[in-house]
Structures are given as C-alpha cells and as structure tokens.
Amino acid sequence: MKKIAIFSHSSGAYGPKRFAEEAQKLGIEARAINYQEVDFEIGKDKVAVSLRGEPMPDFDFVIFRSAGGTFYYVPQRDFLLDYFTQKRTVILNEETYRSWPRLDKLTQHILLSQANLPIVETYLFANKDHLKNKMFYPAVVKVFFGSQGKRVFKVNSWSETEPLANQFGANTLLVQPVLPEGEDIRIIVVGGKVIGAMKRKAASGKFLTNYSAGGEVENFQITPEMEEIALSAAKLFHLEYVGVDLMADKQGKWRVLEVNRACQFEGFEKATGLNVPQLTLSYLLGKNA
C-alpha cells in the first residue's frame, strides 16, 4: 500500500484532515503530522529524523502544508525536504520549496512585477520615519510574512499605522492603495490546470474577504484573462498546487494579490463542490505512475 505524509503546523486543521481522508479513500495509507512532532538528532556523521520517538517511516508521497505565518517551522521543513528527496519520495511543490524556502509577500510582488504580471502597486519603507513621511491614506498595510488574512490591516491615519510599525517593524510592512473593497477571487491550480474558482465577499462591516475571517463564498466562472494570469503566476513560482488570489482595480483590471502554495480550501470546496484533495492526490499518483 502506498503511504503519504501531510505535514503542517496543525495536523487537526481542515486541510490535513481532508487530505488524509481522501488519501484513504484512494487506498493510500495517510498520516497527518505536526512539524513539532519531528525530532532531529544531529551528530558528527549523520542527522537522524524521528517521529514521536520512533524512526521516521518511509513514505511514497509528502505534502507540506503551512509551516506557520512566522516561519517558525520552516527550517524543519527545509531539512525534511532534503531528507525525503534522498529517499526519492514524491513531494508536492518540491521545486518551489527549493527555490523559495520562504515565499513571502515581498518576494512575490517583486518577482510578479519583474515577470510583468499585474499586481497592486506596493511600497516598502526602510524605517519608521520614511513610513511616516511617505504614507498615504486610506491604505492597506500587510506584514509581508502573514497568511490566511492575518496581519492585514486597513488604515486611515498615522495613529492607526504607528502601532503596527512598533509591533512588527516598519520595514516589514507592505503598503498598498485600497482597491474597490468587498470581494476577491481565489483560483486553485493543480498540475498546470485551473480546477475552479470562488468569489469571496467580506462579511458586513468587515474588510477581509477570507473564509476563515467570516467571508462569504460562492462559485465563480473565470475569464480567459484570469485563467492566463493564474497559470502564469503558478508557472513563475514552479507551483504544482497553488491558490492565486485576484482582485479588480477601479478600472476593472485584474491584479494578483498573492499566491499561496499551501492554500486553505474549506471555503473553496463549499463554494464549488470540488474535491480539492482528491484532484491533488490524483495528480500526485499520476506523477508516480
């Protein structure tokens, strides 16, 4: 029987549980594993890996879900990447993790811009004084290592911006103009193909559209232009599995908000009726054929 490991910072979350559930339906033995359950023994001649006090089992497939918004478990994931590569394990999104261990929002925006893909105009200021002197309002402020809509703020004054600079550091804040508010589009790409898309609407009186933040979701039919943008973004970052988030500007032009290579999909499945883990696992099985 084939075996798969799904690593995340919370193995009880929706994503890892759904991947394990669908893997078992396909006849694959599945284990959802927390990064904090993995121990490393580092000696002069070797580095040994154990899981809950026992030698790490062999797996045919590995999926790395989120290592946490603060990258706390990224070094562990990076070593596990090398460990499983040496064992010829099929790893979802292996090439992107090797190229960009930390694919933060700043890196994304720079590379998307260099590739001439449409993005939201973005500023990063070197220090608090620069931020204060060059800031404009209203604005969206994003800590560039956040995820799931966390550490994203709408600000209207320096009194709202300064606490963020003090808490996170001015040079971690991406500043963007406010686009027409209330909704955006998440497109999921698997194996170089768009499997579907959903529209996310912010709850009444709220700013964030994320399903995890209370946003409403519905199925959405994308245009050929949107499909091309999503596929180009996935290709740029060598992503086999990715959520590409788009939002229209005031002129109706679609712009990339971000890419998420371990995107959450609870709202997506609810909106579209698609079985994201099954489609992704079928792709992985095809790679192993």
The domain containing residue 237 runs over which residues? 105-116+180-287
Please tell me whether residues 15 and 74 are part of one structural domain. yes
Nearest alpha-carbon partner for 197 in 162, 246, 262? 246
147 and 251 share one domain = no
Specify whether 198 is located in the same domain as 261: yes
DSSP states of 193-251 as a string? Answer: EEEEEEEEEPPTT-S---GGGT-EEEE----HHHHHHHHHHHHHTT-SEEEEEEEE-TT
Q: Are residues 18 and 65 in the same domain?
A: yes
CATH number of the domain that residue 136 is part of: 3.30.1490
Distances (CA, A) of 228 to 38, 83, 188, 262, 279: 39, 35, 13, 21, 20
Nearest to residue 65, comparing CAs of 76, 51, 56?
76
- pLDDT tens, N- to C-terminus, the chain (289 residues): 999 999 998 888 999 999 999 999 999 999 999 988 999 888 877 778 999 989 999 999 999 998 765 556 788 888 899 999 999 999 999 999 999 988 999 999 999 999 999 999 999 999 999 999 999 999 999 998 766 557 889 999 999 999 999 999 999 999 999 887 678 999 999 999 999 999 998 766 665 656 555 668 999 999 999 999 999 999 999 999 999 999 999 899 999 999 999 999 999 999 999 999 999 999 999 986 6
Phi and psi angles of residue 242, each rounded to the nearest 5 degrees, phi first:
-160, 150
Domain count within the chain: 3
Q: Is residue 100 part of a domain?
A: no
